[in-house]
């Protein structure tokens, strides 16, 4: 008889009987008050439209403190001397370590400070910080008070920050005097934060500033609500001021994370306290094989992204493991060996990064000299059991290459695991669970090896995520067929159940498309005969750049603030390093005819500047085409970005004349041919190097 693999059995249990499945895992965290039930399904009626839809919540009536679970609990259990955080900052030449006891001291004092500064349960506090330990203290201190943090990535511009400020209405901002991006030297935050506050119609009361030696915030203007963080902490220490952990209801918000939707306005994904703690504590053990003291997790992301929230901060700390906080880049700080140096130095057992980072390393160190010779041959990488990749599609070549390297130089059975997830899911929706090979038996006495890896696939659905592939009418597709990837309700406990103060948008953005039956992930792909999921692209108007998510609508909005641009359509163009780059089709209001497809340098620079100022340098355009009558629309006026994307993708493969799928609802078919002519011209002029890039990619 063929035995079902443990991962398949655990998954089937979670879907068949979510109540008993998550009840068991809820026992692994500390509750200030035990929940009355595991899960509750109710209906919600939207105020504006009157539509009723399904709603669910986890662990009703339970009360919990995430900070208590991440910090106090380990100290109480006698693990206070274990290292919680290793900070490694090649950009400043600094390294620091904090035990759980030291972390508790920092967090309870900072929470006391915040309380004195007026922060209370339920308030929102915005964090805009570089990758320094103080940022983690801030997240945990806010959560300790039962307040809600909203971390905004430090690479967002003041305009983007202001947009998030208006939406979250934070009582206070926690920030630093500067960020240090790669080897560029410090960027002062004072001007950025002050400009953002100026732009925002909502003004936070306080700005609490962590002063860094590399560049100070000078002066700290008390009359503007600005406070010196270190001074406040020092004064609190002198007075013995501390704050106890304040439990919140399971369904209360732990944090908001803003992510890009299909419109210009970011979406405030809400993470609830109880489900997050239970689900994340489960996933770090089950999927990542990180069980506690002795396990060292190095997640090379940023706390501004969901991967950073979950696997730099909360999950390793929930498990009582060590997390490595890294302020640097995969290359250039100082070179492509940095990740491998960190693995050796901190005896990292589990690494997590984005494929883009590995591509950047490969570009600098094509022969893997650093991995193989400098660290591998000397046994410096032997602690590493797994390399997790997410944020964008991992091409099979990169998975295979690192799989070979891991087999040769890392722990026995070390694997590369592509896992798929999103800000909304809070933890991986799919992956290959390592726990079967390394630890807890998750309901089985049997020990299985992890399921085999299929390069190009992001593994199988994780417990609690009922993943399906459907056509545009919501009808399930056969195994192996491409379609929209959706999920059944409820989602696993780490996932969102609403958007911050915007239930209407939650319904419209995720439930409406499939009549409330499925949650739309916005991704397209397929599930094969064995249940492996492949994520091929976004099905909506979102693009992924270096594993960062951007709204094409938001970029278009920035571009059309140019006085001479009447219209813009943004798509993602394939890029050898970053997966995709934003690419714009622009129509000038002052069109001189005939105009070349490649805009003159002056205009291109102005447009680029607008994108960088209004969103951030991370959204910089990879190119633009100008022309008139080339942006196809539906009869209801919706831009057909998919058609433009296909034209550009075909062009990058040298297939300029290939037919593209044009929906019957198109208003003017001629626009497609005009766009094709423009794309041809653009690639004729610019195409040489793009072509080479694509050929190189194809060989990988």
Residue ranges binding ligand COA (CB under 6 A): 154-155, 179, 181-182, 300-301, 305, 307, 329-331, 353-354, 356-357, 360, 391, 546-547, 577, 617-618, 620
- Provide the minimum distance between the beta carbon of 420 and ligand AMP in the complex, in angstroms, as a whole number: 4
In angstroms, the CA 349 to CA 346 distance is 9
Nearest to 53 by CA among 523, 505, 658: 505
- Which residues does residue 293 pair with via DSSP β-bridges, in sequence order? none
Cα separation values, 157 from 47, 597, 598, Å: 34, 29, 27
Structure tokens at 133: 């330990």
- The secondary element (H helix, E strand) that includes residue 350 is strand 350-353
Q: Least Å distance between CB 305 and ligand AMP? A: 6
CB under 5 to 8 A by kind: which of ligand COA, ligand AMP, none does 418 bind?
ligand AMP
Phi and psi at residue 271, in whole multiples of 5°?
-105, 125
Rounded Cα distance between 303 and 610, Å, is 26
- To ligand COA, the closest distance from the beta carbon of 170 in angstroms equals 20
CB of 458: closest distance to ligand AMP in angstroms? 4
CB of 415 to ligand COA, least distance (A): 19
The Cα 100–Cα 84 span in angstroms is: 5
Min dist CB 308 to ligand AMP, Å, is 10
Count of CB atoms within 10 A of residue 203's CB? 12
Of residues 195 and 667, the one with the C-beta less far from ligand COA = 195
SS (H, E, C) 69-103: HHHHHHHHCCCCCCEEEEEEECCCCEEEEEEHHHH
Binding-site partner at residue 356 among ligand COA, ligand AMP, none, CB < 5 to 8 Å by type: ligand COA
User: Considering CB distances under 5 to 8 angstroms, the limit depending on partner class, which of ligand COA, ligand AMP, none binds residue 301?
Assistant: ligand COA
Nearer to ligand AMP, 418 or 575 (CB): 418
Residue 660 partner contact from ligand COA, ligand AMP, none using kind-dependent CB cut-offs of 5 to 8 Å: none
Which residue number, 413 or 455, has a Cβ lying nearer to ligand AMP?
455
Choose the one of ligand COA, ligand AMP, none that binds residue 357, judging by a C-beta under 5 to 8 angstroms depending on kind. Answer: ligand COA
Q: Which is nearer to ligand AMP, 103 or 539 (CB)?
A: 539
Residue 329: name its binding partner from ligand AMP, ligand COA, none (Cβ under 5 to 8 Å by kind).
ligand COA
Between residues 361 and 390, which has the closer beta carbon with respect to ligand AMP? 390
337 binds, among ligand AMP, ligand COA, none (CB under 5 to 8 A by kind): none
Asked whether the beta carbons of 106 and 229 are under 8 A apart, the reply is no
145 binds, among ligand COA, ligand AMP, none (CB under 5 to 8 A by kind): none
* CA–CA gap between residue 343 and residue 333 (Å, rounded): 15
Residue recorded with tokens 């801030």 = 138
Q: What are 404's two structure tokens?
A: 């070979």
Residue placing its CB nearer to ligand AMP in the complex, 306 or 586: 306
Give which of ligand AMP, ligand COA, none residue 482 binds (C-beta under 5 to 8 Å, depending on kind): none
Q: Could you tell me the smallest distance in angstroms from the CB atom of residue 301 to ligand COA?
A: 4
CB closer to ligand COA, 174 vs 679: 174
Residue 606 has which token pair? 């102005």
- Using CA atoms of 43, 45, 50, 53 in order, give the dihedral in degrees to the nearest 10: -40
Q: How far is the CB of 224 from ligand COA (least distance, A)?
A: 23
The token pair at 278 is 């239970």
- Can you give the binding site for ligand AMP, defined by CB under 6 A? 259, 305-306, 390-393, 418-423, 458, 521-523, 535, 538, 544, 549
> Rounded to the nearest 10 degrees, what angle do helices 396-409 and 355-364 cross at?
70
Listed as own residue / partner, the contacts of 398-404 with beta carbons closer than 8 Å and 24 or more positions apart are: 398/355, 398/358, 398/359, 398/362, 398/700, 399/453, 399/455, 399/456, 400/455, 401/362, 401/368, 402/358, 403/453, 403/455
**Two tokens, residue 409:** 């130089």
Nearest CB to ligand COA, comparing residues 113 and 178: 178
Do residues 444 and 9 make contact, with C-beta atoms less than 8 angstroms apart? yes
Q: How far is the CB of 684 from ligand COA (least distance, A)?
A: 27
Question: Backbone phi, then psi, for 17, in 5-degree steps?
Answer: -145, 75
Q: Which is nearer to ligand AMP, 5 or 267 (CB)?
A: 267
CB 622 within 8 Å of CB 575: yes
Nearer to ligand COA, 146 or 391 (CB): 391
Closest distance between ligand COA and the C-beta of residue 208, in Å? Answer: 20
Name the minimum Å distance from CB 422 to ligand AMP: 4
Query: Is beta strand 83-89 parallel, antiparallel or unpaired with respect to 322-326?
Result: parallel
Residue 173, contacted partner among ligand COA, ligand AMP, none, CB below 5-8 A by kind: none
> Residue 79 or residue 537: which is nearer to ligand COA going by CB?
537
For the CB of residue 348, give the shortest distance to ligand COA in the complex, in Å.
Answer: 16
Cβ proximity to ligand COA: between 536 and 617 the closer is: 617
As measured in angstroms, the least distance from the Cβ of 424 to ligand COA is 14
List of residues 6+ apart from 47 with CB closer than 8 A: 503, 504
What minimum distance in Å lies between the beta carbon of 262 and ligand AMP? 12
Distance separating alpha carbons of residues 352 and 316, to the nearest angstrom: 12
In the complex, the smallest distance separating the C-beta of residue 185 from ligand COA, rounded to whole angstroms, is 11
Q: Select 229 or 298, whichever has its Cβ closest to ligand COA.
A: 298
549 binds, among ligand AMP, ligand COA, none (CB under 5 to 8 A by kind): ligand AMP
Three-state SS at 673: helix
For residue 623, give the 3-state DSSP assignment.
strand
How would you classify the pairing of strands 172-176 and 206-210? parallel
Sign of the C-alpha dihedral computed for residues 129, 131, 132 and 135 taken in this order: positive
Distance from C-alpha of 286 to C-alpha of 280, rounded to nearest angstrom: 10
Among ligand COA, ligand AMP, none, partner that 422 touches (CB below 5 to 8 angstroms by kind): ligand AMP
Q: How far is the CB of 596 from ligand COA (least distance, A)?
A: 25
- In the bound state with ligand AMP, the residue whose beta carbon lies nearer, of 38 and 354, is 354
Residue bearing tokens 């895992």: 25
With CB under 5 to 8 Å by kind, the binding choice for 639 among ligand AMP, ligand COA, none is: none
354 binds, among ligand COA, ligand AMP, none (CB under 5 to 8 A by kind): ligand COA
Closest CA to 302 of 572, 610, 546, 614: 546
Question: For the chain, what is the radius of gyration of the CA atoms?
Answer: 25
Taking the least distance from each CB to ligand COA, the nearer of 113 and 343 is 343
Indicate which of ligand COA, ligand AMP, none lies near residue 535 (CB less than 5 to 8 Å, by partner kind).
ligand AMP
Q: Which does 154 bind (CB under 5 to 8 A by kind): ligand AMP, ligand COA, none?
A: ligand COA
Three-state SS string over 547-602 comes to CEEEEHHHHHHHHCCCCCEEEEEEEEEEECCCEEEEEEEEEECCCCCCCCCCCCHH
Nearer to ligand COA, 360 or 624 (CB): 360
CB atoms closer than 10 angstroms to residue 396 = 15
């Amino acid at each position: 008889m063929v035995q079902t693999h443990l991962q398949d059995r655990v998954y089937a249990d979670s879907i068949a009987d979510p109540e008993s499945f998550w009840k068991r895992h809820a026992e692994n965290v500390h509750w200030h008050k035990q929940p009355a039930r595991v899960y509750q399904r109710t209906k919600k009626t939207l105020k504006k439209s009157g539509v009723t839809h399904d709603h669910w919540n986890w662990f009703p009536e339970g009360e919990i403190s995430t900070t208590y679970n991440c910090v106090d609990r380990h100290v109480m259990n006698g693990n206070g001397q274990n290292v919680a955080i290793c900070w490694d900052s090649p950009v400043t030449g600094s390294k620091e370590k904090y035990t759980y006891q030291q972390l508790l001291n920092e967090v309870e004092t900072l929470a006391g400070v915040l309380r004195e500064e007026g922060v209370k349960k339920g308030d929102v506090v915005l964090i805009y910080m570089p990758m320094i330990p103080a940022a983690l203290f801030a997240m945990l201190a806010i959560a300790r008070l039962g307040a809600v943090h909203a971390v905004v990535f430090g690479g967002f511009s003041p305009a983007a920050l202001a947009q998030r400020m208006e939406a979250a209405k934070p009582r206070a901002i926690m920030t630093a005097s500067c960020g240090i991006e790669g080897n560029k030297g410090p960027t002062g935050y004072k001007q950025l934060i002050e400009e953002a506050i100026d732009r925002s119609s909502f003004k936070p009361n306080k700005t609490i500033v962590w002063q860094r030696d590399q560049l100070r915030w000078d002066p700290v203007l008390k009359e503007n609500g600005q406070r010196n963080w270190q001074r406040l902490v020092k004064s609190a220490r002198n007075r013995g001021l501390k704050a106890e952990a304040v439990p919140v209801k399971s369904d209360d918000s732990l944090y908001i994370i803003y992510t890009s939707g299909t419109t210009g306005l970011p979406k405030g994904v809400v993470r609830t306290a109880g489900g997050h703690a239970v689900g994340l504590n489960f996933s770090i053990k089950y999927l990542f094989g990180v069980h506690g003291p002795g396990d060292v997790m190095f997640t090379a992301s940023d706390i501004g992204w969901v991967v950073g929230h979950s696997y730099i901060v909360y999950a390793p700390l929930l498990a009582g493991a060590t997390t490595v906080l890294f302020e640097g880049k995969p290359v250039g700080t100082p070179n492509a060996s940095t990740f491998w140096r960190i693995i050796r130095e901190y005896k990292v057992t589990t690494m997590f990064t984005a494929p883009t980072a590995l591509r950047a390393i490969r570009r600098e160190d094509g022969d893997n000299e650093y991995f193989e010779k400098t660290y591998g041959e000397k046994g410096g990488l032997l602690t590493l059991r797994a390399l997790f990749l997410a944020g964008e599609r991992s091409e099979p070549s990169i998975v295979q290459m690192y799989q070979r390297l891991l087999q040769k130089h890392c722990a026995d059975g070390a694997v590369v695991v592509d896992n798929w997830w999103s800000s909304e899911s809070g933890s991986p929706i799919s992956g290959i669970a390592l726990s079967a090979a390394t630890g807890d038996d998750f309901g089985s006495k049997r020990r299985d090896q992890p399921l085999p890896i299929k390069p190009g696939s992001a593994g199988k659905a994780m417990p609690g995520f009922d993943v399906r592939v459907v056509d545009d009418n919501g009808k399930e597709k056969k195994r192996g067929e491409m379609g929209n990837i959706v999920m059944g309700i409820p989602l696993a406990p780490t996932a969102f159940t609403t958007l911050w103060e915007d239930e209407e948008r939650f319904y419209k953005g995720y439930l409406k498309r499939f009549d409330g039956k499925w949650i739309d992930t916005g991704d397209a792909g397929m599930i094969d005969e064995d249940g492996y999921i492949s994520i091929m692209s976004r099905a909506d108007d979102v693009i992924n750049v270096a594993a960062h998510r951007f709204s094409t609508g938001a970029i278009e909005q920035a571009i059309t603030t140019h006085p001479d641009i009447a219209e813009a359509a943004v798509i993602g163009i394939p890029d050898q390093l970053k997966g995709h780059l934003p690419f714009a089709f622009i129509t000038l209001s002052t069109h001189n005819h005939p105009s070349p497809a490649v805009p003159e340098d002056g205009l291109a620079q102005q447009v680029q500047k607008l994108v960088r100022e209004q969103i951030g340098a991370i959204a910089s355009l990879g190119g633009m085409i100008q022309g008139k009558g080339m942006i196809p629309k539906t009869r209801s006026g919706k831009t057909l970005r998919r058609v433009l994307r296909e034209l550009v993708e075909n062009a990058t493969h040298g297939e300029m004349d290939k037919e593209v799928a044009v929906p019957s609802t198109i208003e003017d078919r001629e626009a497609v041919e005009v766009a094709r002519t423009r794309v041809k011209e653009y690639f004729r002029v610019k195409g040489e190097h793009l072509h080479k890039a694509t050929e190189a990619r194809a060989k990988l």
